[in-house]
Structure formats: C-alpha cells, structure tokens
Structure 1
C-alpha cells in the first residue's frame, strides 16, 4: 500500500472545494498532472474511489465525502496540536487569530490592540473583519481563535461569552457640552436627513426594524458601507446618523443624542469554539478584553459582571 502523507489530505480537500483539478493545482502551486497522480495514490492507499471525475465538475463520491470530513477534522486537530506545542505560557511570543464584525473596528478594536501590544508585545495578531456567520464558520473550521460579535442564535459548537451592552443613538456633529442633550422623540426623525450604514450591515437591519416598529419613514440621503464615511459626513454637515454611542467616545466632534423611546440594546459577545484548544494568547486576550470594557465604561452585560467578579477574586 502506498504511504499516506498529510499533503494527500490537503490535496483532496483542495480538489473537493474547487471541483476542478486545474484550479486546485493553481491554489496549491503544483502542476495538474502531479495533483492527479497524488490523488490516485491516496485512492490506492485507502482502497476506494474518492472522486467522481465523469461530470463537468469533479465531485466527491459518498466514500469521498465521509473521508474528506474526517480529513478536515484530522488536519484541524494537527494544526491545534502544533499550536499547543509552540504555545509559550509566559506570553513572550504567540499568535492570535481574531474575527470581528465591522462596527467593532470603529471603536473597540483600536483600544484592544493597543492594550495587547502594551502588555504582550511579542504576540502577533491576525485580524479579520467579516460577517458574524462567517466568523462562526471560521471558528468551527479552526481558522479563527476568537470572534467579537452579537448575542443571538449561534451554531452548535459555538460558545458566546457576554462582554457588554451596546446602545445605539442618534449621532450629530457639534461640540460637547457639560450637560448631555435631551432625548429626542423618534417622530422628530421624520424631518431629519440621515446617513446610514448600507443594508449589508446587521446594524442597519436593527435600525430599520426600530423605524418600522414606530412607523417612521426616515429621510435617508446617504448610505455608506463604512462607518468612517458616516462619521466624516456627520462632522461636516447637518446630516445625522445612527451608530453605537461608544463610537463618540474617541470623536470629540460627534455628539450622541438618545432617542425616545430608545433603540433596543444589543449584547456584545466573545465567541470561541466549544472544546477547542485555547492558547495562552487567547486566554490572555479574553482577560484583556474584559479589562478594556471595564476601563472604557461600557455597560457590562449581566453575565459579564459575574465573570469580572470571579476574576477579581482570583489571586
């Protein structure tokens, strides 16, 4: 029987994902004949046909689908084992793979990374901004260590630890005053020009649901797919926006105005894969995140208060 090597598993997964030997070979930076030969070696080693090559695209056979599922799991476990072997408990070095949904890059990631770099300068970070469902899929595939997203329904295998409560407010341009502005009745938004996030943001869906509940048809003059664009527009025009009020903490020329009734709050959570190996870097980042949330004065979620009480009692 031909010897089975890890590259055979990676080659099979690449072909299964691409459905084409040529494209898979390009991804793997090997020739197509070499890839075909390696896959046939694998099929001889396991004694069954893993791929159906008769159609326009290459498909997994029933046996191939089962084998590929186990191959993915084996490679994921081996990658985790390698990270565990190289994990340095004193945090003099290490690496963290973090996924966040887009709004958090506007107010949370900067303070988190600054604190990480200050405390643990030897830890590298790979930061991915993407949608919550992709973060959860990447955690399950062991492509991420941690994710920052919202509470809600999560796939099986995902653990969500509450961090804090995020509130949305109307945000206008102007200078801060000692007294916060009075709450604005939601009906007043009928006459207010708004710049809002585009519909591919979960935050926009949250805002639209609030408007629909209160039968408000807002005057949306600008839609943008970046928060930075909205904050720049609001600072320079009379147009307002609706964003997490935490964004205004680091922008002195943005003023949060509470709406009456207020928009429903959301719980921000730290996501990981249940049962996954947690590196020293991931454990340190989890503690650091709770510290930053507390220092910046974000409203802690109820379960997060319990977490911080436990941490405070630790020696």
Structure 2
C-alpha cells in the first residue's frame, strides 16, 4: 500500500482524502479534524475540496460556526467508512493500524455493566488507542440485543441472548443475586437471606420491561411475595439510590453493588434458591468486527482473564 496515497481506480482522489473526510464527519470541525490527522487546517480543506471535485458534489455545508453534511454527504459517509474499515481489515495481519488511525467503536451494554465493569476496559483501551472514540449505549438487555442485531452497536455486553439463533453469546462471568440494604437495616446483620425473608420487608423491584425481571420471574416461580413492591424502576442503579434513601431492600446482581467500603449500602447473599445470571458478550453471527471493535473485544477478554471487576468466574459456580 506504500505511503497511503494510492489512487482508487477511475477516481481522482486517494485514501488520505477519505481519511480527512471521515475525521471531519466524526469530529464536526475542520480544526479538530486537522489536529486528529496531524496536518494543517488549510491542507485538510484542500483534501476535502479535492474529494468534492473528484465526486462532482458538495459534501459539507460550511459556515463560520458549524460544519454539517449535505444530503449527498450523509449518503456517502457510510460508504467511505466501510471502505476504510475494509482496508484496515486487510492490513490488520500485517501491521498494527488501530493505534494510529482515527476510528470509533460502539458498544451496547446493560447499565450495571456500563457502570461497574466497562469503565476499566474503556480506560485501558483509551491508553492504548487514544485516537479511537468509544461510544457506550447503556440500555436494557432487550435494547442491547436490538442494537447488536441492527448493527448500531459493534457488539454488546449483557445477560440475555443465549436463546437467540442469530446471536453468539460468550460468557464473561457469572454472578448471583444478593439482597441490597442499608447497613442499619435488620437484614444487614445476617450471613444469608432467603427470598421469603426478603419479601417480609418493604422492597423495591424492577418493572416488567427489565431483563432482570424476566430472569427472576422464571427462577422464583415457587416464591410468592406477601405484598407488592413499594416502588418499581427500570434500572438497578436507580433501585440502589432508593435503597440508600431508606426505601426498603432489593434483590440486585452482585456486580451492581458498590464497594465494601460504601458508607451506607451493603449486601447479603440470597438463598433458597440461589439465583445467578451469566454476563457475556453478544455478537451477531457472521458479522466481522471492525479493527477498532476487535481491539476493544480483546480488551474485554483480557479484563475477564485478569479477574478485574466484580462477579464470579465465567465458568465457575461459586456460592
């Protein structure tokens, strides 16, 4: 490939022009794009003009305050991105292009993973590949599956997907549900709590749109709460805020709990039955990851091997 200036067949522009175009699209600024690709702003403007002249269309509407894609530019942007990604795939086995290119990766994940597991992964990834932007879509488990299926996310981290024929599910860790409560709550003094004991107290639950609710309803078919919950939420992180404020107790995945040094909240293992969920990477079968996403995938797997983050072993059954 030489110096990256090879001309595309029958078209009077080169790969550097496409890279300049992608930088402006991603950063929304000629100045920021020029800094990102390490050229002057006038030089970047010349590359964009060259690309527009070659295509015979205007790709950007420019004012002194903003840069926006034209209608044609919006149509062309995905094709340019795909072309550059395909090139990176071709080069990936020859040299490390991910550390020097300007790219992006989109990961969908359930909120507990986004808050308690992925931050360390994102930080490590950014140190290695500072020019690749990471976008996290923290959504419900069902929405994670949807964004992975549609291609909006490169891959996801969730606890649903094992039953989907078009989804590949690779286990990262297994975690159990625990009783979350304030340190001054009566349950905090116990070594373990049964589900029936939990439901003797006022409790907060997740609503029917939550993947956790589906999992718990299936696992606790023989356990009947004595009264409905005092409040329903969609996300576990919201539940913990309510518990901290004194609104009873809640059953939450162990990974969602803050550290043991938290001044207010603590947790107690739930038994009879022990309910676990498996957290893993969800990918659409047959869809190759871009180089940027492949590198992020590797970071996640390295984090699993190092044992970082909370939760149990991906293959174990610790109690």
TM range (shorter): 0.5 to 0.7
- 2:119 is matched with 110
Distance 1:141 1:80, change over 3 A: farther
- 1:67 is matched with none
- Separation of aligned partners in 2, 1:272 and 1:235: 35
- 1:84 is matched with 86
Pairing 1:258–2:269 present: yes
Give the match's secondary structure for 2:153. Answer: coil
- After superposition, what is the alpha-carbon deviation per residue over 1:65-104, rounded to whole angstroms, capped at 9, x for unaligned? xxxxxxxxxx989854432325662423431111113332
- Separation of aligned partners in 1, 2:117 and 2:133: 18
Q: CA RMSD in A?
A: 3.3
Distance 1:204 1:266, change over 3 A: same
Given the two structures, how large is their TM-score scaled by the length of structure 2?
Answer: 0.62
Give the match's secondary structure for 1:220. Answer: coil
- 2:252 is matched with 243
- Separation of aligned partners in 1, 2:163 and 2:247: 39
- 1:282 is matched with 293
Distance 1:211 1:141, change over 3 A: closer
Residue 309 (structure 2) aligned to one of 292, 296, 300:
296
- Separation of aligned partners in 2, 1:79 and 1:274: 21
Give the match's secondary structure for 1:147. Answer: strand
Residue 234 (structure 2) aligned to one of 203, 225, 239:
225
- Structure 1 unaligned spans of 5+: 1-27, 31-74, 304-315
- 2:65 is matched with none
Which stretch shifts more, 196-205 or 145-154?
145-154
- Separation of aligned partners in 1, 2:273 and 2:98: 45
Task: Name the structure where helix makes up a greater proportion of residues.
Answer: 1
Give the match's secondary structure for 1:208. Answer: helix
- 1:66 is matched with none
Residues 173, 234 of structure 1: 8 Å contact kept: yes
Given the two structures, how large is their TM-score scaled by the length of structure 1?
Answer: 0.62
- After superposition, what is the alpha-carbon deviation per residue over 1:84-130, rounded to whole angstroms, capped at 9, x for unaligned? 32566242343111111333234223333233223332221122233
Task: After TM superposition, list the pairs within 5 Å mapping 1:199-214 onto structure 2.
Answer: 199-214=208-223
- 1:267 is matched with 278
- Separation of aligned partners in 2, 1:109 and 1:284: 14
1:218 CA drift (Å): 4.5
- Separation of aligned partners in 2, 1:153 and 1:281: 25
- Separation of aligned partners in 2, 1:190 and 1:223: 14
Distance 1:138 1:224, change over 3 A: closer
- Separation of aligned partners in 1, 2:191 and 2:144: 38
Distance 1:156 1:189, change over 3 A: closer
- Structure 2 unaligned spans of 5+: 1-68, 72-76, 90-95
